[in-house]
Amino acid sequence: MKLAYWMYVGPAHIGTLRVASSFRNVHAVMHAPLGDDYFMKSMLEREREFTPVSASIVDRHVLARGSQQKVMDHIERQDKQEKPNLIVLTPTCTSSILQEDLKNFVDRAALQTSADVLLADVNHYRLNELQAADKTLYQIIEFYVSKIIRSSRFKEKKTARPSANIIGSMSLGFHNQHDLAELKRLLYDLNIDLNLVIPVGLSVQQIHSISNAWFNFVPYREVGRLTAEYLKDCFSMPFIDIVPIGTSQLNRCIKEIEKVLNSQGANVDYCQYIDEQTRFITQAPWFSRSIDCQNLTGKRAVVFGDSTHSAAITKILANEMSIKVVWSGTYCLYDHDWFRNQVENFCDQVVMSDDYTLIANLIEETQPDAIFGTQMERHIGKRLSIPCGVISSPVHIQNFPLSYRPFVGYEGTNQISDLIYNSFTLGMEDHLLDLFGGHDTKNFSNNSLPLAANCIWSPEALSELKRVPGFVRNKVKKNTEKFAAKNRIDYILVDTIYSAKESFRS
Amino acid sequence: MVFVKQIDSHLQFECETGNYHTFCPISCVSWLYQKLKIVFFLVIGTKTCGYFLQNAMGVMIFAEPRYAMAELQEGDILAQFNDYQELRRLCLQIKNDRQPSVIFWIGTCTTEIIKMDLEGIAPKLEAEIQIPIVVARANGLDYAFTQGEDTVLSALVHRCGKTLKNFVSSPRLIIFGSLPSIVSQQLTSELTRQGINVAGWLPTASYQDLPTICSGDYVVGINPFLSRTATALMRRRKAKLIIAPFPIGPDGTSAWVEKICQVFQKKPSGLLERETSIWHALKGDIDLIKGKSVFFMGDNLLEISLARFLIRCGMVVYEVGIPYMDRRYQKAELDLLVSTCHKMQSMVPRIVEKPDNYNQLGRIQDLQPDLVITGMAHANPLEARGINTKWSVEFTFAPIHGFTNSRDILDLVTRPLKRNGCSAKLSFIA
């Protein structure tokens, strides 16, 4: 057993659900007890469609007799109701200890359904959300690709013009939909056709054209690499897995794309494009030269997040802004070699942990000028009065902004510069205000209203008032006194507060 | 397949498939740990439980929570580790770091399936580490959402002290159900006005202050989901259960107080006037919702009481979905529902136990109710289809009990309808 207060990555089935629900017309059936279908898509992404996830409920009867017909009935029912192309049966922690032969259910159900049926091959106790997502995506693609290869009609043919698949863009990803728009724009600028985006918005019927692309583009470290490697083995499709976040990495990524395309005879030269974009479109390199950024030189920061974002932001801070990254870390423990290799030269220390208390203690010890991390680090920063820019999942609803906020691409570099600069100046502003005696308005506005002169609060009523949550306390106080004045009550009792609430029309 | 059974000529109960969204009952930790001070909740489960709690509790999780997961590892499942030793290690750590006055172990689906003997281990460990350990099995195999509190409170019943019968002169009243202290204070003073003394509440803010309960004491519930607690009080403590409607809405509160008065042979004084004045104060909101229709998809067991109140406000309730319906514990509430329907000359809603969300969405599509009270999974998609929704979980966290808080219920119900007043022009939404 492990004592855990909070976790950075969710359980395996969440990864599977994120992938399945990213596809178009794919339905996920969870084998789970009541309440396990808590999946945040409709809330965080403000999704208008019903999330295509349902549960075959595991209850006492299932414990006693096994699921028997139940799972198959549920799958067949979903097949009739939703008419999906694919149903993914998703095991949970509960079903994995029941050790029912879910594979057998899937095979038998598949005979009855018009949809394809797959069992997500993810072990709850060995994989986390991100690994499971990577694996499920691979599993679905592999299923359809091998089906295609087996069919005699399959002919491999590349598109006439250079084209790419984008792999790894999926629901509930950190700023994913904005990133996707930015990546599409980048490909358009580079005169590369977009073949498929995998999995978000993809119909499984489109998978037959997957090998038509000249190369695969895997923008994130966590999800998509298994698929890209599989496609490389299968069709010798090259893939680019340089994270296109930050000017230098982005430029490196584009050079790599150029190399891949030219090796297939495209004969493209992106030098001029990179030069134009770097000098005129993105403001980030100029920002690095400006005196604003000069003032940040040597400021101390710490970075923590998933491996993609943490590594990229570390490099931007150290390399492009001359900020001292005291330590940089990730909770993706399973991928430590890659991460260490990426950031080793850009920070004093590499941290690998998924224990937020350890991270909190480290931050407290380090006392950086700014933190770049997840929502958890933001709250740690709040406690310690250190500003924090959120750069990675896990996130809240405010990290699903309505406005255009990519992290990747040239517009992404602008966004990141703002994020970094605003975090530092905020902290500096607070510090200066403290130094010079605080906001001058402090003396005028009093946080609590004075008690009205014409009525007296009984000690019990006062202590009751103190129990009212702070943000409405003044309102309650005002309303009670108004009520007391109106009813000529000059001694306020506990009951007076309640009566006031009852009579008050909102 | 719908199972229909005619109970009487008025109320119709149905039971569907049980494919519905609700919170896992371990969510009770989130409100109980705010109520119970200096206690610690240890949820013994997996990452799935942790993920749910962390996301469902939202920002609460950052406020130094007195709760943690005992996250089971593969070795625990395979019984390579000794449960007793593992729990001992964690509880000693908790004792060291937090010094709680009691530790609650919340059993989950996993502990059920691997048959971890929490009830057996707890007394031994309790004796060893000198901190009371209370075990509650709040799992998704057996229970839904608010029933989690029921499992915790029924476990607490066993920890309440017993007084020797000779020392108790007259029957006392103990109220069970967790409420914010302000609200329980309000209900207590409501009874005090009638000359009825509340001898204690279950639970109390501090574990040491748990009330003594003995044979012959009267107990009354304030929430519709507390049937196990009621049973435990009756069977284990030989307490007498007052079956009353629940003090939700002015009608419910009035009926609740009246029933208690009746048991204690007091004539209610000023109760009717008090109820009338509350109705009067609510008039503005009631005018807004009168004649509008509601559909409860059902996920928190408050549905019957809320439906009854809303019908009394003049709304039409099409369907009351509910996870679990204890017709004995909720008898008085069901009776009040029927009489309210007669009084308001409104249709008696159908009550659907273990609802099927898919079927319900079909019925919602057909009925086009003015308001659907539902969970977050369906709220945004329904709004996108032009159907007003209210997120049901808010009813469990807002103060809704007693005369004083009736307005808060209507605030929740009217919010989507008021919002529509100003966004009606934005017809492109739907």
Distance from CA of A437 to the nearest CA of B (A): 29
The band of B54, judged by pLDDT with boundaries at 50, 70 and 90, is confident
Same-domain check for residues A114 and A34: yes
Distance from CA of B36 to the nearest CA of A (A): 15
- Which one of A261, A281, A301 terminates a domain? A281
Provide the 10 A C-beta neighbour count for residue A14.
25
pLDDT (tens digit, 9 = 90+) per residue, B139-178? 999 999 999 999 999 999 999 987 665 555 678 999 999 9
CB contact under 8 A, B71 and A2: yes
Half-sphere exposure for A18 (CA within 13 Å, toward CB): 28
Same-domain check for residues A295 and A275: no
Instruction: Give the pLDDT of residue A446.
Output: 45
Same-domain check for residues B134 and B44: yes
Over residues B332-347, mean pLDDT? 95
Helix (H, G, I), strand (E, B) or coil at A408: coil
The rounded percent of chain A whose pLDDT value lies above 90 is: 67
Do B247 and B401 form a contact (C-beta atoms < 8 A)?
Answer: yes
Distance from CA of A423 to the nearest CA of B (A): 21
Is B315 a domain residue?
Answer: yes
Cβ neighbours of residue A6 closer than 8 Å, sequence gap 6 or more: A356, A376, B50, B54, B61
A31, A38, A487: best to mutate for the B interface, most B CBs within 10 A: A38
Rounded Cα distance between B87 and B120, Å, is 12
Instruction: Give the pLDDT of residue B62.
Output: 63
Same-domain check for residues B235 and B275: no
CB contact under 8 A, A5 and B44: no
Is B108 a domain residue?
Answer: yes
Rounded Cα distance between B32 and B137, Å, is 15
- Which one of B264, B293, B318 terminates a domain? B264
Closest CA to A357 of B70, B27, B40, B64: B64
Cβ neighbours of residue B308 closer than 8 Å, sequence gap 6 or more: B245, B249, B251, B252, B333, B336, B337, B340
- Which one of B100, B121, B143 terminates a domain? B143
Q: Which residues of B touch A93 (CB under 8 A)?
A: 46-48, 109-110
Same-domain check for residues B194 and B331: no
Closest CA to B282 of A468, A496, A501, A485: A501
Closest CA to A34 of A15, A61, A8: A61
| Full domain range(s) for residue B336 | 13-19+271-424
Is B161 a domain residue?
Answer: no
Is A352 a domain residue?
Answer: yes
Rounded Cα distance between A285 and A287, Å, is 5
Mean pLDDT of successive 10-residue stretches along chain A, which has 506 residues = 89 95 96 85 86 92 84 94 96 88 93 96 92 98 94 83 97 94 97 96 95 97 97 96 96 97 95 94 90 86 97 96 96 96 96 93 95 94 93 87 95 96 81 69 49 77 83 84 86 87 70
Number of domains in chain B: 3
- How do the residues of chain B divide into helix, strand and coil, expressed in percent and rounded to 5? 50, 15, 35
Beta strands A2-4 and B67-71, pairing class: antiparallel
Rounded Cα distance between B299 and B317, Å, is 16
Beta strands B389-391 and A324-330, pairing class: unpaired
Instruction: Give the pLDDT of residue A64.
Output: 85
Same-domain check for residues A69 and A113: yes
Helix (H) or strand (E) holding B382: helix B376-384
Same-domain check for residues A350 and A491: no
Instruction: Give the pLDDT of residue B130.
Output: 94
Is A152 a domain residue?
Answer: no
Is A441 a domain residue?
Answer: no
Measured over all CA atoms, what is the biggest interatomic distance in chain A, rounded to whole angstroms? Answer: 93
Is A475 a domain residue?
Answer: yes
Do A475 and A482 form a contact (C-beta atoms < 8 A)?
Answer: no
Cβ neighbours of residue B355 closer than 8 Å, sequence gap 6 or more: B16, B18, B20, B297, B298, B321, B322
- Residue A365 maps to which CATH number? 3.40.50.1980
Same-domain check for residues B125 and B257: no
Is A118 a domain residue?
Answer: yes
pLDDT (tens digit, 9 = 90+) per residue, B402-415? 999 999 999 999 99
Do A361 and A384 form a contact (C-beta atoms < 8 A)?
Answer: no
pLDDT (tens digit, 9 = 90+) per residue, A403-431? 999 999 999 999 999 999 999 887 777 77
- Which one of A381, A401, A436 terminates a domain? A436
Using CB atoms, pick whichever of B140, B378, B381 lies closest to residue A33. Answer: B140
Same-domain check for residues A270 and A306: no
- Which one of A100, A127, A154 terminates a domain? A127
Residues β-bridged to residue A55: A30
Q: What separation in angstroms does the CA of B5 have from each of B11, B13, B317, B332?
A: 9, 6, 20, 20
Question: Phi then psi for A431, rounded to 5 degrees?
Answer: -65, -45
The secondary structure of residue A414, as a DSSP letter, is: H
Is A154 a domain residue?
Answer: no
Predicted complex: ipTM over 0.95: no
Same-domain check for residues A170 and A197: yes
The band of B3, judged by pLDDT with boundaries at 50, 70 and 90, is very low
Rounded Cα distance between A334 and B117, Å, is 33
Helix (H, G, I), strand (E, B) or coil at B1: coil
Rounded Cα distance between B293 and B421, Å, is 17
Angle between helix B147-157 and helix B28-35 axes, rounded to 10 deg: 50
Number of domains in chain A: 4
Rounded Cα distance between A471 and A479, Å, is 14
B85, B354, B380: best to mutate for the A interface, most A CBs within 10 A: B380
Is B165 a domain residue?
Answer: no
Instruction: Give the pLDDT of residue B273.
Output: 95
Residues β-bridged to residue B93: none
A116 is in an annotated binding site: no
Instruction: Give the pLDDT of residue B2.
Output: 41
Same-domain check for residues A254 and A195: yes
Is A7 a domain residue?
Answer: no
Instruction: Give the pLDDT of residue A445.
Output: 43
pLDDT (tens digit, 9 = 90+) per residue, A187-245? 999 999 999 999 999 999 999 999 999 999 999 999 999 999 999 999 999 999 999 99
∠ Cα B426 B427 B430 (to 5°): 115
Same-domain check for residues A415 and A294: yes
∠ Cα B2 B7 B9 (to 5°): 110
> How far does Cα B259 stand from its chain's mean position?
21
Over residues B6-22, mean pLDDT? 79
Same-domain check for residues B127 and B47: yes
Same-domain check for residues A212 and A312: no
Do A254 and A273 form a contact (C-beta atoms < 8 A)?
Answer: yes
Do B413 and B289 form a contact (C-beta atoms < 8 A)?
Answer: yes
Q: Which residues of A touch B137 (CB under 8 A)?
A: none
Tokens of A315: 């490099």
**Following DSSP, what letter does each residue of B288-333 receive, concatenated?**
HHTT-EEEE--SSS-HHHHHHHHHHTT-EEEEEEES---TTTTHHH
Strand order in the sheet with A388-390: A349-352, A324-330, A300-305, A370-373, A388-390
Q: Which residues of A touch B142 (CB under 8 A)?
A: 59-60
Rounded Cα distance between A133 and A224, Å, is 8
Q: Provide the annotated active-site residues of A.
A: 292
Do A107 and A93 form a contact (C-beta atoms < 8 A)?
Answer: no
Same-domain check for residues B29 and B119: yes
Cβ neighbours of residue B15 closer than 8 Å, sequence gap 6 or more: B2, B3, B352, B353, B354
Is B157 a domain residue?
Answer: no
Rounded Cα distance between A246 and B333, Å, is 63
Using CB atoms, pick whichever of A32, A35, A124 lies closest to residue B25. Answer: A35
Rounded Cα distance between B407 and B415, Å, is 12
Same-domain check for residues B238 and B276: no
- Residue A496 maps to which CATH number? 1.10.8.550
The band of B424, judged by pLDDT with boundaries at 50, 70 and 90, is low
Closest CA to B414 of B347, B305, B314, B278: B314
Rounded Cα distance between A416 and A397, Å, is 19
Do B64 and B58 form a contact (C-beta atoms < 8 A)?
Answer: no
Rounded Cα distance between B55 and A198, Å, is 27
- Residue B210 maps to which CATH number? 3.40.50.1980
Same-domain check for residues B301 and B255: no
∠ Cα B182 B185 B189 (to 5°): 140
The rounded percent of chain B whose pLDDT value lies above 70 is: 92
Is residue B208 exposed (0-12), middle (13-18) or buried (19+ Cβ within 10 Å)? exposed
Contacts of range A128-131, beta carbons closer than 8 Å, 24 or more positions apart:
A128/A9, A128/A10, A128/A11, A128/A12, A128/A15, A128/A334, A128/B47, A129/A9, A129/A10, A129/A11, A129/A12, A129/A14, A129/A15, A129/A18, A130/A9, A130/A15, A130/A222, A130/A223, A130/A306, A130/A332, A131/A12, A131/A15, A131/A334
Same-domain check for residues A246 and A260: yes
| Full domain range(s) for residue A374 | 286-436
Same-domain check for residues A290 and A432: yes
Is B241 a domain residue?
Answer: yes
Instruction: Give the pLDDT of residue A448.
Output: 54
- Which one of B264, B296, B325 terminates a domain? B264
Do A376 and A356 form a contact (C-beta atoms < 8 A)?
Answer: yes
The band of B33, judged by pLDDT with boundaries at 50, 70 and 90, is confident
CB contact under 8 A, B113 and A92: no
The secondary structure of residue A128, as a DSSP letter, is: B
CB contact under 8 A, B182 and A11: no
Over residues B292-305, mean pLDDT? 96
pLDDT (tens digit, 9 = 90+) per residue, B245-265? 999 999 999 999 999 999 999
Rounded Cα distance between A49 and B381, Å, is 5
Same-domain check for residues B126 and B213: no
Q: What separation in angstroms does the CA of A14 have from each of A234, A330, A353, B4, B141?
A: 28, 20, 21, 37, 20
A7 is in an annotated binding site: no
Same-domain check for residues B364 and B397: yes
Cβ neighbours of residue A13 closer than 8 Å, sequence gap 6 or more: A30, A32, A36, A90, A91, A92, A93, A120, A122, A124, A132, B48
Same-domain check for residues A29 and A91: yes
pLDDT (tens digit, 9 = 90+) per residue, B60-75? 666 667 889 999 998 9
Is B167 a domain residue?
Answer: no
Compute the CA torsion angle A386, A392, A396, A399 (nearest 10 deg).
Answer: 100
Same-domain check for residues B278 and B406: yes
Is A52 a domain residue?
Answer: yes
Same-domain check for residues B332 and B282: yes
Over residues B365-392, mean pLDDT? 94
CB contact under 8 A, A3 and B358: no
Instruction: Give the pLDDT of residue A332.
Output: 96
Is B115 a domain residue?
Answer: yes
In the block, which residue shows the tokens 């009874």? B191
Tokens of A464: 């009751």
In the block, which residue shows the tokens 């514990």? B329
Distance from CA of A474 to the nearest CA of B (A): 16
